[in-house]
Amino acid sequence: MSAALQTIPAMILMTGALVALSGALLGTFLVLRGQSMASDAIAHAIVLGIVLAWMLTGARTGPLSVAGAALAGLASVLAAQALARSRLMAHDAALGLVFPAMFALGVLLINLNARNLHLDADTVLLGEIGFVWLHTVMILGFEMPVAAATLAVVALLNMGFVVLFWKELKLASFDPGLASALGFRPELLGAVLLALTSVTAVAAFDAVGVVLFMAFLIVPAVTGLLLSRRLWAMLGIALVSGLVSVGAGYGLALRWDVSIGGMMALATGGGLVLALMVAPRSGLVAALIRRRLMRDEARLNTLLIHLSSHSGTPAQAEECTEVAFIDHLHWSPDTVRQVILAGLDRGLMRREGRLFALTSAGAARAVMLIRAHDRRRALPPEE
Amino acid sequence: MSFEVSHTLMTVALAALLIGGLAGVLGSFLVLRGQSLLGDVISHAALPGVVAGFLMSGSRSFVAILLGALVAGALAGLSVQLLRRGAGLKSDAALGVVLSLFFAAGVVLYSVAQGRPGAAGLQVFLFGQAASVLRSDVVAMAVVAALVLGVIVALWKEFQLISFDPEGARAAGLPVERLETLLSVLVAVAIVLGLALAGVVLMVAMLIAPAVAARQWVNRLGPMVVLAAVFGAGSGMAGAVLSALGTGVATGPVMVLVASSVVAVSLVLAPGRGVLARLAMDRRARRSLHRRQVLEVMAGLSAEHANPAYRSEETMLDAYLGTPARPVLQRLEREGLIRQVPHGPEGRAHWELTDEGQAGDRA
């Protein structure tokens, strides 16, 4: 009994980790190619493929089912592309038209065959990774969930694809025009990527449901994209973020007694929020620092211009003092002290008793600023 | 019994009519502004709101659930904006992130709600169940729908301008951002109203399909919106009634399939741009090209042989045209530009230009 309890969490975590692994491998390239929403279409369209394969062959799982689902997923994206090419509607409208229709047909067929087909439309949508240990197989003497075994095969397939075609995928993602000119057939590579996404979605939906699979495809990849501009680093971050989400989501789900698959998918959002904070270029922290630097620079410029316009005039004795900076520029004493220190440090001004004066460098900078300002004002408004 | 059935059917049909019509109107703006997938995101993202509304009100209160869905939908729309503008993500990545994370939150909340009494009622919001709509719900729907339509009528010119020419609208001094936000909120309201009927997963099709179908038939915004409303109301009503007649069939899929069929028919039949119209146009173009080719060839041969009435052999014309020339020749004969003449011992068909044909009427 205690052995079983110890293996159930292991089985759940293993299944989740395999979903995260495949999701990161494929999602990175889907996100780079601007096809995130194609995964939405695939996730919904495979349902029709599974049902049709069952109606034609009677197989609810296995290679035929996977093949049918993969074809349906690929067909949804290609059909939307064909509709968009006819220029009768925009591409996003075509996508939003094709996959709901396919999904609707799938759900309707499930409803109509509910008695014979052991497939619940809610399960397709939501999945439940907590129950993967109910269906197990023995592989090499290990008891493995069927879902994990399937996912392991699919993950190997995905890994093989990414490793073998790394250079081609990289080129096709960043410069499809060049890839095409060099004879790499980026559209064929894209179709294979979509087909693999469909296959993976089929393998994953028993565990996490089709929509939650989307979270593992897109969110870790976007996290990687925010944090790095290098493909291998982006993929690495996506992998780590996906795997950590599986562990964290499992822990939180047990603690709060909620859906394990849902919590794992939601946990990917944690990594994203973190990335949004600390991303080197577009992150919140980076933006705050940038804004702070710009504000300090603008204050220093203001002070330089103030000094420049009053030095050598009769008002100099009154205007070029710390008190004047506080009263006339309406800055707090602390701010004024900071700006003065910055100006002194950078050799743009110097202290002469109670008064402050510009150094030659400071004077030159003030003149430049005033000229730039005048130039901007003199230009016609549409420039 | 029969009275009860017809009573339920009336309620369902009325609700579907309202929702389909409203979705058609707002979907038109969504499709024209290239934001179809935003509708998909907002409708998926309504799930956590639906469940949160249920958890907070402790019952399947229509108003609480709709309010929850509206708040969640609005938050999702806002998040997409922030991810695009703030973090510089591409629009598809922003949409995908928001959709999957909100839906995940919905699944988590759903699992919390499952232990509560009355949670079974939540299931209808996944795929829609027309029979779950009560008469009092329809009254609330009608009031909200009337309000939404009122806003659209009042701001018709503004919405028209920001749909087709946002830059021009900005130049004209319109508050474009605020109008766009208002339009998105109205879309969210329409989505939320339709959730009980079509479900969070499929509601997007009720927005897009009628609008795309209507766009095939007309070129102006006014007629397009009206036609989309008619298509939406019609397919909504047909789908709801069909699914209410069957047992255990969710309403959303049937509504969506009816609406998708309307699109398919429109794509084939639409005048000017439909598949049939394009085929007819190709055929006309091919005919006119062949006609001119035959006349040119015959005139050329006449000039070559210094004989205005040179008799061209039909098999030779076949070879020039690359396809059997007989249909083209017959049409030209009917026009009186050429005539068939017997020639040679084999009696094979030959053709010569009539006086009229020689006059050079090759238009």
Structure tokens at B318: 């076949």
pLDDT digits (tens, 9 = 90+) for A365-382: 988 888 888 877 765 544
Per-residue pLDDT at A1 exceeds 50 = no
B312: left (phi over 0), alpha (psi -120 to 50) or beta: beta
Average pLDDT, chain A: 84
CB contact under 8 A, B201 and A219: no
Same domain, residue pair B84 and B135? yes
pTM here is 0.81
How much is the pLDDT for A121?
65
Same domain, residue pair B189 and B306? no
Same domain, residue pair B232 and B282? no
Average pLDDT, chain B: 85
How much is the pLDDT for A117?
67
pLDDT digits (tens, 9 = 90+) for A96-109: 889 889 989 988 88
Structure tokens at A193: 């990527």
How much is the pLDDT for A115?
67
Instruction: Tell me whether residue B260 is in a domain.
Output: no
Same domain, residue pair B137 and B211? yes
Same domain, residue pair B216 and B303? no
Same domain, residue pair B19 and B150? yes
Mean pLDDT of A13-37: 91
Per-residue pLDDT at B3 exceeds 60 = no
CA distances to A11, A130, A268, B28 from A261, in Å: 13, 7, 11, 36
* Interchain CB contact of A81 with B (< 8 Å): no
* Interchain CB contact of B249 with A (< 8 Å): yes
B208 vs A36, A97, A268: nearest CB? A97
Q: Are B101 and A266 in contact (CB under 8 A)?
A: yes
pLDDT digits (tens, 9 = 90+) for A265-281: 999 999 999 998 888 87
For chains A and B, CB pairs below 8 A equal 189
pLDDT digits (tens, 9 = 90+) for A188-244: 888 889 989 998 988 887 777 777 889 999 999 999 999 988 999 999 999 999 999
Mean pLDDT of A117-146: 68
**Closest chain A residue by Cα to residue B246:** A112
CA distances to A224, A371, B188 from B134, in Å: 47, 72, 21
pLDDT digits (tens, 9 = 90+) for A45-70: 888 988 888 888 877 777 788 888 88
Instruction: Tell me whether residue B143 is in a domain.
Output: yes
Domain count for chain B, please give it: 2
CATH number at residue B319: 1.10.10.10
How much is the pLDDT for B308?
79
Considering only residues 110 to 139 of chain A, which have any Cβ-Cβ distance to chain B shorter than 8 Å?
111-112, 114, 121-122, 125-126
Q: How confident is the model at residue B2 (pLDDT cuts 50, 70, 90)?
A: very low
Interface confidence, given as ipTM, is 0.81
Q: Which residues pair with B202 in a beta bridge?
A: none
List phi, psi (to 5°) of B165.
-145, 75
* Interchain CB contact of B37 with A (< 8 Å): yes
CB contact under 8 A, A93 and B212: yes
List, in order, residues 6 or more apart from B272 with CB less than 8 Å away: none
Same domain, residue pair B42 and B162? yes
Structure tokens at B26: 């707002």
How much is the pLDDT for A130?
67
Crossing angle between the packed helical segments A63-85 and A91-112, to the nearest 10 degrees:
150
How much is the pLDDT for A321?
85
CB contact under 8 A, A107 and B263: no
Same domain, residue pair B118 and B7? yes
Per-residue pLDDT at A303 exceeds 60 = yes
Same domain, residue pair B88 and B231? yes
CB contact under 8 A, B36 and A262: no
Instruction: Tell me whether residue B74 is in a domain.
Output: yes
Element of type H or E holding B352: strand B349-353
Spell out which residues of chain B touch residue A19, defining contact as CB-CB under 8 Å. Answer: none
Query: How far is it, in rounded angstroms, from Cα B61 to Cα B54?
Result: 7
More confident residue, A37 or B118: A37
CATH-assigned architecture of domain A285-378: Orthogonal Bundle (1.10)
Q: Residue B330 is part of which domain span?
A: 277-358
CB contact under 8 A, B111 and A262: yes
Lowest-pLDDT range of A40-49, B27-36, B117-126, B155-164: B117-126
- Going from N- to C-terminal start, the domains of chain A cover 2-218, 285-378
Of B211, B237, B252, which residue is a domain's last? B252
CATH number at residue B144: 1.10.3470.10
More confident residue, A133 or A13: A13
Structure tokens at B82: 């922030």
Same domain, residue pair B207 and B321? no
Which one-letter DSSP state was computed for residue A184?
Answer: -
Considering only residues 51 to 70 of chain B, which have any Cβ-Cβ distance to chain A shorter than 8 Å?
none
